[in-house]
Each structure stands twice: as C-alpha cells, then as structure tokens.
Amino acid sequence: MPADPVPLLDVRDLCVSVPANGSMIRLVENVSFCVNEAEIVGLVGESGSGKSVTAMALMGLIDSPGVQVSGSARFRGQELVGMAPRALRNLRGGDIAMIFQDPMTAFTPVYTIGWQIDEQIRAHERLSRRAARARTVQLLAEMGVPDPARTAQRYPHQLSGGLRQRAMIAMALSCNPTLLIADEPTTALDVTVQAQILDLLRGLRHSHGSSVLLITHDMGVVAQTCSRTLVLYSGRMAESGPTATLFARPAHPYTAALLDSIPPLYGTRPHRLPAIAGVPPTPQERPAGCAFGPRCAYVHATCLPAPPPLASIGAGQQAACVLPTEGKPLPPRATAQAMQP
C-alpha cells in the first residue's frame, strides 16, 4: 500500500452484537475498512448481511436494548465507538451525515422540506432563520431541484421520489460533511432517476470534497460509482479491494457467484442463470466455518472448522477464503458483460 495519509475513516474489527434468547448474537463480525479523503467506497451485500447495521453502528444510531458495539472506528483520529452521546451528536449531521433509503420516512411529514433543512443547519451553526433558509435554497438548487425557493415550502408528500431524495441529499450536505454515509440511496428510485442521483453523488467529491460510504445491494451501482468495494456476507467480510479488480478477478467464490447471478443486459443469454443455491444463514445459524461454505461450489475440509481469515491477495485486495492461500485462486471472470453489439 502506498504511504497514505491518515484515512478519513478507519474502521477496525467492528463487531455489533444484540442479546437474544439469553445469548449474544453477532450481527456484524470483525469488519475492517477505511475511507480516504474524497473517495467513494462501496459496502455491498444481500439483505441481512450487516451492511446497514455497520453504518448505523458508526453513527451511533443503534438503540436496541443491550446492544454491544466493539472494535474501533476512528474518524479523523477520533474514536467513534463509545464516544459520549453529546460529542457524537455534534459530529452527526455536521461532519458525518447520512442519507437514508426511504426519504419519505426519513423526513417528518408534518413540516416542510425547507423547515427541516433549516433546523439541521441551525442546530450546528449560529445562523439566523433567514440566512439558514438562504443556504437551504442554495443547496436545493445545487442538487438540481427546480424552483428551489418554492420547493422548500412544500411538504415531503408533495414531491416526487427523485426530488425527495435530492432534498435528503441537500439536507445531508447542509453542514458540509466530510463523510457522507448513503444507505441504499437509489434503491427506491426508478433507473432514470437513479442515474441522476448517482451522477450527483459522484460529483460531490469535487464540488464539496466529500467522501461517500455507499451501501447498496446492486453490483451495477457499485461498478459505476465506487473506487473501492467491500463485500459482506452474513455479517462478515467476504472480500475487499479496488472495484475494478473485484469485478475482473474476484477472489472469494461469493463475490464471483454474486456477479454471475446477475442476468446480463448484453451478450449471450444463458439458458439458466448461474444461481446460488439456498439462502444466506441468519446470524443465529451461521456455521462455525466459512459462512458461505454451505452454498459454495469449492467448499472442502479446510473451510469447515473456523472462518477463514482475511488474506491479502495483492494490490489492496483481501479475501476471507482459503483458495488463494492454497494456491488455487479462482479463474478471472469472462468479460461477456463487457461486450455490446
């Protein structure tokens, strides 16, 4: 690795456990990654893989009774895990902001969009109402909201899904955050609107110098936006590395299978999609060994006793799989998807 400056966010061995039936269940196990300045990092996984829980834990937003968060998450050298609520509250919405999947439920329906964005600005900065509203209108305009002054006076239900999501991003950016955590920001949107929002997110690095941690289940979104990607499976890291490497030479069979199970938009249509049999295990029934073992085509004796440790494959790529260390790495992927008539 090049001698990086200190990363903006440095997460090491993050674990999140919740009590259930008298024992602790680990929803997230030993997740480590970092986000550098002005970088977009993708966190991908299927539902229940722990990607949202990871983000919520970073923001100190899990208030489930008895939850235990351990490990370390340093934001500009400040430890977030176990930070005093008051200090965390100053960071949240200020230096670290979050975009949620469903802007309809993230906004309160009883106040206007503008009121809600003004409130956040005034919570973090000493500004008059008038000055706060001016900033709100400017932000909405920057996000491509037509007629921003009037839109600010409207209620969430009066806006389309795409406009609501733009307002949500404007609100997240209102205090110039250095880190934006976006949890499935485009999942509820149509593809043509999704393309606009992704374009907006890519532009934030230059226009606001913000880093983005993008949580998604869509490998297409990752490929188009993230420079580095982390793949989670059943609360554990399966693989991480530069996005281009991950797509060309996935080192974990789960990453490879996930990419293969996406129906191709171009090239030959497979008679059958290479689906992964079965479903991901719930945290309670996670096997002792590799969590993907029961669904893996390459599973063998070494996978079963304990989860394989993350092994470095080279060039920033890591995979929690025994295959590369046993000298039997996966073949590079065929680039059938790359072909276009």
Partner 1 sequence: MTHPTPVLELRDVRKTYRLPHGQRLRAVDGISLRVMPGEMLGLVGESGCGKSTLGRCMLRLDDVSSGQVLFEGRDITTLSERKLRPLRPGMQMVFQNSTAALNPRRSIGDLLAEPLRVHPGPDGRRRAAATITARLHELMALVGLPASALARYPHAFSGGQRQRINIARALALSPRLVVADEPVSALDVSVQAQIVNLFAELRERLGLTYVFVAHDLAVVRQISTRVAVMYLGAIVECGGTDDVLHAPAHPYTAALIAAVPRPMVGAPPAMLLRGDVPSPVNRPAGCRFHTRCPQAQARCSAEEPQLRAIRPNHEVACHYPPGEENPPA
Query: Does residue 220 belong to the site contacting partner 1 (CB under 8 A)?
Result: yes
Give the x-and-dash track for 47-66 against partner 1 (CB under 8 A).
Answer: x-------------------
Least separation in angstroms between residue 249's CB and partner 1 is: 12
Options 40, 56, 163, 237; binder of partner 1; rule CB under 8 A: 163
Contacts of 4 (CB under 8 A, 6+ apart): 36
Least separation in angstroms between residue 234's CB and partner 1 is: 12
Query: Does residue 315 belong to the site contacting partner 1 (CB under 8 A)?
Result: no
Query: Does residue 147 belong to the site contacting partner 1 (CB under 8 A)?
Result: no
Least separation in angstroms between residue 229's CB and partner 1 is: 10
Stretch near partner 1 under the rule CB under 8 A, chosen from 3-11, 33-41, 63-71, 187-195: 187-195
Query: Does residue 12 belong to the site contacting partner 1 (CB under 8 A)?
Result: no
Query: Does residue 217 belong to the site contacting partner 1 (CB under 8 A)?
Result: yes
Query: Does residue 234 belong to the site contacting partner 1 (CB under 8 A)?
Result: no
Query: Does residue 157 belong to the site contacting partner 1 (CB under 8 A)?
Result: no
Query: Does residue 299 belong to the site contacting partner 1 (CB under 8 A)?
Result: no
Q: Which is nearer to partner 1, 106 or 276 (CB)?
A: 276
What is the crossing angle of helices 129-142 and 161-173, to 10°?
A: 120
Options 32, 72, 112, 224; binder of partner 1; rule CB under 8 A: 224
Query: What is the Cα–Cα distance from 318 to 313, expressed in whole angstroms?
Result: 5
Point out which residues bind partner 1 (CB under 8 A): 46-47, 146, 160-163, 190-196, 198-199, 217-225, 243-244, 247-248, 257-259, 261-266, 269-277, 279-280, 335, 337-338, 341
